[in-house]
């Protein structure tokens, strides 16, 4: 039977629950998640636990907050005047807010409290500071990823020939100088 190895492209279905058993996320086999083992784009501890699992195998892994969505950071909770938001937007406790910062970075927050003049925004991930249990099922194991030195050219019809013979390169003469004005 096939087993997962480093750099394999693996399709998984997963279910994420909180410590108390509340379901946070579940995908079905037909909406699988594709993970390249060792790439580090999924939870690194989960990627490591996938190694040596067989196709069809299921495993439950517990992640501490530091290995999941990070610690809860109190400094990411702030009071913001309501007048900084558009007046046509109705924001209540529980509303999700997208904030585009002048730096170009985007932040997401949740309204956790409101007064007559202010809103309290929590910019922490909703699962920050929480231990989670992830049950993963390997639905398929694909071929190993090609290493960067083995990757095929994006332009397979073209081949580059390198000659060790020195050649003199002559610049092309142009009849028009686009920078010159008359």
Give me the pLDDT at residue 26, please.
94
CB 68 within 8 A of CB 127: yes
Instruction: Identify the bridge partners of residue 122 per DSSP, sorted by sequence position.
Output: 77, 110
Give me the pLDDT at residue 161, please.
39
Look up the pTM and report it.
Answer: 0.69
Assess if residue 100 is contained within a domain.
yes
CA distance 98 to 109: 7
pLDDT confidence of 171, banded at 50, 70, 90?
very low
pLDDT at 78 over 60: yes
Pair (19, 61) in one structural domain: yes
Look at the chain and report how many structural domains it folds into. Answer: 2
pLDDT at 90 over 60: yes
Pair (37, 114) in one structural domain: no
Q: Which residue has the higher pLDDT, 85 or 12?
A: 12
Please choose, from the candidates 95, 121, 89, the residue with its C-alpha nearest in 3D space to the C-alpha of residue 107.
121
CA distance 66 to 73: 12
Give me the pLDDT at residue 154, please.
41
Cα-Cα-Cα-Cα dihedral sign, residues 30, 36, 37, 42? negative
Assess if residue 93 is contained within a domain.
yes
Give me the domain span that covers residue 95.
74-122
User: pLDDT (tens digit, 9 = 90+) per residue, 120-163?
Assistant: 999 999 999 999 999 999 999 997 655 554 444 444 443 333 43
Pair (50, 117) in one structural domain: no
Q: Going by C-beta distance under 8 Å and a sequence separation of 6 or more, which residues neighbour residue 140? A: 10, 11, 32, 55
What mean pLDDT value characterizes the chain? 82
Assess if residue 78 is contained within a domain.
yes
Q: Going by C-beta distance under 8 Å and a sequence separation of 6 or more, which residues neighbour residue 77? A: 112, 120, 121, 122, 123, 124
Assess if residue 13 is contained within a domain.
yes
The residue-averaged pLDDT of 40-57 equals 94
CB atoms within 10 A of CB 180: 6
Give me the pLDDT at residue 129, please.
97
pLDDT confidence of 169, banded at 50, 70, 90?
very low
Considering the chain, what percentage of its residues have pLDDT values greater than 70? 78
The residue-averaged pLDDT of 73-81 equals 95
pLDDT at 43 over 60: yes
Give me the pLDDT at residue 87, please.
82
């Amino acid at each position: 039977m096939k087993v997962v190895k480093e750099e394999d492209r693996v399709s998984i279905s997963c279910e994420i629950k909180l410590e108390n058993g509340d379901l946070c996320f579940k995908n079905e086999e037909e909406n699988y998640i594709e993970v390249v083992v060792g790439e580090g784009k999924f939870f690194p501890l989960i990627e490591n636990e996938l190694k040596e699992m067989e196709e069809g195998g299921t495993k439950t892994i517990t992640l501490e907050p530091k290995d999941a969505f990070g610690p809860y950071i109190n400094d990411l909770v702030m009071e913001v005047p309501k007048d900084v938001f558009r007046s046509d937007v109705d924001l209540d406790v529980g509303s999700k807010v997208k904030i585009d910062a002048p730096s170009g970075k985007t932040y997401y927050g949740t309204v956790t409290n409101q007064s007559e003049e202010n809103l309290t925004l929590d910019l922490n991930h909703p699962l920050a500071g929480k231990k989670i249990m992830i049950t993963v099922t390997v639905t398929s194991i694909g071929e190993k990823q090609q290493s960067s030195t083995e990757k095929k050219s994006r332009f397979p019809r073209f081949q580059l020939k390198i000659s060790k013979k020195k050649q003199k390169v002559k610049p092309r003469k142009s009849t028009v100088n686009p920078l010159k004005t008359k």
